[in-house]
Structures are given as C-alpha cells and as structure tokens.
Structure 1
Amino acid sequence: MEIIILVFVLFICLFTDIKSRKILNIITLPTIVFGLIYNIFNTGVDGFLFSGKGFLVGLGLLIIPYMLGGMGAGDVKLMAAIGALMGTSFVFYSFIYTALIGGVIALLLIIKQRGFINSIKSLFFNVVFFRSSLGSMILPNGDKKSSISFPYGVAIVLGALSCLVWGGF
C-alpha cells in the first residue's frame, strides 16, 4: 500500500516540479501525515518511531542545502515525506541515488551550457590549484545570470524510484 502511495506522490511531484518548478504542500504534507498514521496503525509505537525517524532523516538530509539557498522547501518536504512513508533506511538510500542522479544532471547541464572543453579546463584548473570552491564552474565570473539550475525534484523522484527498483547498496 505504501509503495502505491509513494509512486503516486512521486509522479505528481515530478509533473508539478517540471511544469511549475514547485512541489506542492497539498501533496507532501498529507503524505507525511498518511505515512505517520499508516505506520502507527500497522505497528503502533514502533511504527511511530519508524515514521518519525524517517521524517527527521529526510528533513535533515536536505535542510542545510535549503538553508544555503541551493534548493526549495518543496524538495526538503518531499524527502521528509518519503522518509515518513518509507522509513530511515529507504530515505537514506534514496538520498544517495538522488545525489548521484542530481550530480549527473548538473554535469550534463554544465557541459551543455559551457561546452565540454571549457568544463574540463575549469575542473582541471580548480583541482590543480586547490581552489576552495568549484562554484566557478557553475557561476563563471560570479555572474548569477549564467547560473545553472534545474528542478531538483526530478532527481529526488528518480532517486526514490531507483531505490524502489534496486534497493540499498
């Protein structure tokens, strides 16, 4: 049952994030509540702890990137909802898949926007000269207008679906 709800929520969030770059509270908040109630109903106090820990881990994994301006609150709430529904282990492995998929998407977008050779030169320069920030690859000359962004909910959805298909490591 929870897998069906998860897949349904993921596809709705994928659609809304691509269409409007928003993950809606009307989807994530009821999912959090449902995950909590469903797990309490099935296993009582253990279900509450299972769901509560999953919620906190999901929230905790993305709260710092959100606070630094790297992603929206909807992304954080979606990861928390995944945790509340599926538990700590699932949300953690989903996060690993999400980070890998998000990194690949970001790399492809950088290469597309700046060209492959410029991206390799920039990466080489940053590594050789031990620059503390690889941000110059994304924000050349500090120009925010040329920054690369994408709806990170796509990576979260693909990460959670990957975890459903392949499980943990």
Structure 2
Amino acid sequence: MEKVILVVVLFICLFTDIKSRKILNIVTLPTIFTGLIYHIIINGNKGLLFSGKGFLVGLGLLIIPYLLGGMGAGDVKLMAAIGALMGPSFVFYSFIYTALIGGVIALLLIFKTRGFINTIKSFFFNLTNLVFFRSNLGSMIIPKDKKSSISFPYGVAIVLGTLSTLIWGGF
C-alpha cells in the first residue's frame, strides 16, 4: 500500500518540479500525515516511532543544504514525506542514491554548460591553489555570480534515487 502511494507521490513531484520548479505542499504534507497515520494504525506506537524516525531522518538529511541555500524547502519536505511513509533506513538509502544521481546530473550539466576542457582546467587550477596556497584560502574566495551558477530541479534526483531504492533496495 505505502509503495503505491510513494510511486504516485514521486511522479506528481517529478512532474511539478520539472514543469514549475516546485514540489507542492499539497502533495508532501498529506503524504507525511498519511505515512504517520498508516503506520500508527498498522503498528500502534511502534508504527509511530517508525514513521516519526523516518520523517526526522528525511528532514535531517536535507535541512543543512536547504539552510545554506542549496535547495528548496519542497525538496526537504519530499524527503521527509518519503521517510514518514517508508521509514528511516529506506529514506537513508534513498538519500545515498539521490546524492549519487544528483552528482552525476550536476557533472553532466557542468560539462554541457562550461565544456569539458574548461571544467578540467578549473578543477586543476583550484586544486593547485588549494595545495600550494592553503594558508591563504580566505583571500581566494570569489563572490558568486548568479549568471554563472548552474541549477537543476533536485526533485528529479530525489525521485530517481527513491525509485532506485524501491528497485534495488539498500546496499
């Protein structure tokens, strides 16, 4: 039952995140409550603990990147909803798959936008600065230029990571 709800929620979030770059509260909040209520009905207090831990793990995994401005609140709530519905270990494995998939997507976008050679040059330039001038790193910080930043709807990575967990399970 919870797997069917999860897949439906994931595809709705995938569609809205690609279309409007938003993961809607009208999807995530009811999913959180459904997960909590479902597990309470099935397993009582143990179900509440299971779902509550999943919610907290899902929330905790993405709250720092959100607070640092690296992602939207909808991404955090989606991961919390996945945790409330599927439990703490499932959401943790989903997070691992999500991070790996998100990293691959980010690299592909960087290569596509900036070109492979420029990306490699930039990597080695930054690595050289780090190795040889590590005591002077504070002065090397360059203000972020919004035009040069690359972003993508991270909900795509969350959906693919969670579906990977559904298909292959944990490690």
- The TM-score range, normalised by the shorter chain, is over 0.9
Q: Given residue 40 of structure 1, which amino acid in structure 2 is its aligned partner?
A: I
Q: Which residue does the alignment assign to 1:44?
A: 44
* Partners of 2:24 and 2:38 in 1: CA distance: 21
* Partners of 1:141 and 1:66 in 2: CA distance: 20
Q: Which residue does the alignment assign to 1:109?
A: 109
- Give aligned pairs, total: 164
Deviation at 1:27, TM superposition (A): 0.2
Per-residue CA shift, 1:2-52, capped at 9, x if unaligned?
A: 000000000000000000000000000000000000001111100000000
Q: Which residue does the alignment assign to 1:57?
A: 57
Deviation at 1:126, TM superposition (A): 1.8
* Partners of 1:145 and 1:46 in 2: CA distance: 49
Q: Which residue does the alignment assign to 2:96?
A: 96
Deviation at 1:144, TM superposition (A): 1.3
Task: State the SS of the aligned residue for 1:108.
Answer: helix
Q: Which residue does the alignment assign to 2:69?
A: 69
Q: Which residue does the alignment assign to 2:4?
A: 4
Q: Given residue 145 of structure 1, which amino acid in structure 2 is its aligned partner?
A: K
Q: Given residue 124 of structure 1, which amino acid in structure 2 is its aligned partner?
A: F
Q: Which residue does the alignment assign to 1:152?
A: 154
Deviation at 1:119, TM superposition (A): 0.5
Per-residue CA shift, 1:83-129, capped at 9, x if unaligned?
A: 00000000000000000000000000000010000001111222232
**Pair 1:161 & 2:163 matched:** yes
- The unaligned stretches of length 5 or more in structure 1 are none
Runs of 4+ in 1 over 4 A off after TM superposition: none
TM-score with structure 2 length normalisation? 0.92
Structure with larger Rg = 2
Per-residue CA shift, 1:114-155, capped at 9, x if unaligned?
A: 00000011112222322769xx9xxx8732112100000000
* Partners of 2:46 and 2:127 in 1: CA distance: 47
Q: Percent identity?
A: 80
- The unaligned stretches of length 5 or more in structure 2 are none
Per-residue CA shift, 1:65-93, capped at 9, x if unaligned?
A: 00111000000000000000000000000
TM-score with structure 1 length normalisation? 0.93
Q: Given residue 157 of structure 1, which amino acid in structure 2 is its aligned partner?
A: V
Task: State the SS of the aligned residue for 2:152.
Answer: coil
Q: Given residue 149 of structure 2, which amino acid in structure 1 is its aligned partner?
A: S
Q: Given residue 89 of structure 2, which amino acid in structure 1 is its aligned partner?
A: S
Q: Given residue 45 of structure 1, which amino acid in structure 2 is its aligned partner?
A: N
Task: State the SS of the aligned residue for 1:6.
Answer: helix
